[in-house]
Amino acid sequence: MMNNIPLSSTELGNLWQAYQEKSMKLRILERFIKNSDDEETEIVLQSAQDIETKNINAIETIFQNEGVAIPLAFTEKDTDNHAPRLFDDQFHLMYLRLLSQILIGLYALHSGMSYREDIYNLYRDFTSDSQTIYNKCTQSLLKKGVLPRPPSVPMPNEVEFVKEKSYISGLNPFGKKRVLNTVEIGLVYQALEANITGTQLMTGFAQVAESPDIQQYFQRGRELAEKQVSTMSNFLLESDLQAPSTWTGIVTNSTIPPFSDKIMMYMTNLLSMFGMGSNSVGAAFSFRSDLLLKMGQMLTNTFDFAKDGGKIIIKHGWMEEPPQAADRTKLSRRQSK
């Protein structure tokens, strides 16, 4: 009976957003699979493609049943099947792993905004599928020996409590800073992993972008990601912890775009949104004031970058408008004419 209730505004908006993401992901996977030369990697990519094809069909079925227009999203026009590979197989898995990590959090959020049981169950399946893809990518990269694990620390053998206010200090350049705790290490390491992948992605996109303004935007994105990698690496090194390697995954010398500027801008925007969310969480759970400040600065810089990216997308006429509430004022004026 609940499934006969019309979609709520939040359910419609979230499904619309999920359709955009999955449409983009399918285009990416098509190119990655075509350019893959590693059998194990191709199996992981093909599994992800099969999962997302099933899921996007499920969304289309709901839209059709509800009388909702199917979004345009991304089509075959957004890829060039004859373009040479831009990234190697290791990067294919690194990027797919990061994208799955983003979607795990996003679908968990969407499930908490669902009221119809079928929509809730759909996001539960989406979350499970993203976790499956994430784990396959992680295990494959670990098996290949190209995915650094976070640093280890001594196991605690007793319970301790904070005794001094200096525990939350860190802004004084002449004062002694405590080492990072394990919660902070996890947040720093996640930011590092995401920005290392982002650096390589922006490098490749800047190399093949066709519009000069978009090429410059990707170059700016690379510089921003590199700066954040340097900042987060220093936090680890100050605590005598090893920062992860930045060489995992290779960008080729190709200057022929495998993706349209439109889809590359959307990919970048999605990663920027993830970066803002991660930096917000990092700032919220950090007890060292200097780390909190840096996370806040990274959040501000990423927000400015994402905002400017949105302006470019609108300028080129690529921003598809989500479903919206009825404009009652506009409707009233139309009736009075």
Which DSSP string corresponds to 205-220? HHHH--SHHHHHHHHH
CA pair distance 175, 36, nearest whole angstrom? 51
pLDDT at 165: 74
Give me the mean pLDDT over the 215-222 stretch. Answer: 98
Q: Please, what sign has the CA dihedral across residues 283, 287, 291, 297?
A: positive
Whether residue 229 is found in the same domain as residue 133: no
Digit-coded pLDDT (tens) for 107-148:
999 999 999 999 999 999 999 999 999 999 999 999 999 998
Instruction: Confirm whether 101 is domain-assigned.
Output: yes
In terms of Cα–Cα distance, which of 336, 238, 211 is closest to 294? 238
- Mean pLDDT computed over 190-208: 94
**pLDDT(210) > 60:** yes
Q: Is residue 325 part of a domain?
A: no
Identity of residue 270? L
- One domain for residues 128 and 187: no
- The conformation of residue 78, written as its DSSP 8-state character, comes to G
Residues 206 and 284 in one domain: yes
**Binning pLDDT at 50, 70 and 90, where does residue 285 land?**
confident
Closest CA to 299 of 280, 281, 286: 280
Rounded to an integer, the average pLDDT of 248-257 is 91
% pLDDT > 70, the chain: 93
Summarize the confidence of residues 92-117 as an average pLDDT.
95
Residues 239 and 296 in one domain: yes
Could you give the angle at the alpha carbon of 303 between the alpha carbons of 301 and 304, nearest 5°?
Answer: 65
Q: Which of 321, 303, 259, 300 is nearest to 83 (CA)?
A: 259
pLDDT at 240 over 70: yes
State the pLDDT at residue 1.
Answer: 46
Rounded Cα distance between 31 and 29, Å, is 5
Q: pLDDT tens for residues 312-321?
A: 999 999 999 9
Taking each helix axis from N to C end, the angle separating 261-285 and 9-35, rounded to the nearest 10 degrees, works out to 120
Q: Is 70 exceeded by the pLDDT of residue 44?
A: yes
Res 164: pLDDT? 79
Please tell me whether residues 135 and 196 are part of one structural domain: no
Give 258's pLDDT tier (boundaries 50, 70, 90): very high
Contact assessment for residue 115 and residue 11, using Cβ atoms and an 8 Å cutoff: yes
pLDDT at res. 289? 85
| pTM of the shown model | 0.91
Q: Is the pLDDT score of 330 beyond 80? A: no
- Whether the predicted pLDDT of 55 surpasses 90: yes
Buried b / exposed e along 109-144 (16+ C-beta atoms within 10 A): ebbeebebeebbebbebbbebbbebbebbbebbeee
| Domain boundaries, position 129 | 8-61+85-144
Number of structural domains, the chain?
Answer: 2
Quickly tell me which residue has 């605690």 as its tokens.
156
How much is the mean pLDDT over the chain? 91
Q: What is the CATH number of the domain that holds 207?
A: 1.20.1260.10
Instruction: Say yes or no: 127 and 201 in one domain.
Output: no
Residue 40 pLDDT > 80? yes
pLDDT given at position 245: 67
Give yes or no: residues 34 and 89 share one domain.
Answer: yes
- Cα 64 from Cα 84, distance rounded (Å): 37
Angle at 21 between CA 19 and CA 26, to 5 degrees: 95
Mean per-residue pLDDT for 29-57? 96
Please state, for a pLDDT cut of 90, what percent of the chain lies above it. Answer: 75
Q: What is the pLDDT of residue 172?
A: 58
267 falls within a domain: yes
